[in-house]
Amino acid sequence: MALFKPISALQSYNELLNEATPDNPIILTENKDAKYAILDLADYEQYQRLRTSQDLMAIVHKARQGELHGLDNVEKELMNR
């Protein structure tokens, strides 16, 4: 569950960083609007893997729809990501 804290909480960043644990990001707010997230590294790495998977699935979907033709085009699309 995310914890919402005002950006001024960065003044005591050691305490703040101790609160950021796996599955428990800290959301920093500015003028009561969510602005930044502090994530545990494991959560960030999981997020990166998810984004990569989604990108690859989008490429596969394009290929199945006939938008990409041949290995060269698929390879080019992958290299541009």
Q: How many angstroms separate the CA atoms of 81 and 75, rounded?
A: 10
- pTM for the whole thing? 0.59
Q: What integer best gives the mean pLDDT of the chain?
A: 83
Higher pLDDT, 73 or 56: 56
Residue 64: in which H helix or E strand, if any? helix 41-64
Contacts of 40 (CB under 8 A, 6+ apart): 20, 21, 22, 23, 24, 25
Domain tally, the chain: 2
The answer to whether residues 22 and 50 belong to one domain is no
Residues 8, 30: one domain? yes
Task: Work out the pLDDT band at 10, boundaries 50, 70, 90.
Answer: confident
> Rounded mean pLDDT of 19-25?
86
Task: Provide the domain limits for residue 53.
Answer: 42-79
Q: Does residue 27 sit in the same domain as residue 14?
A: yes
46-70: per-residue pLDDT in tens?
Answer: 999 999 999 989 888 887 777 666 6
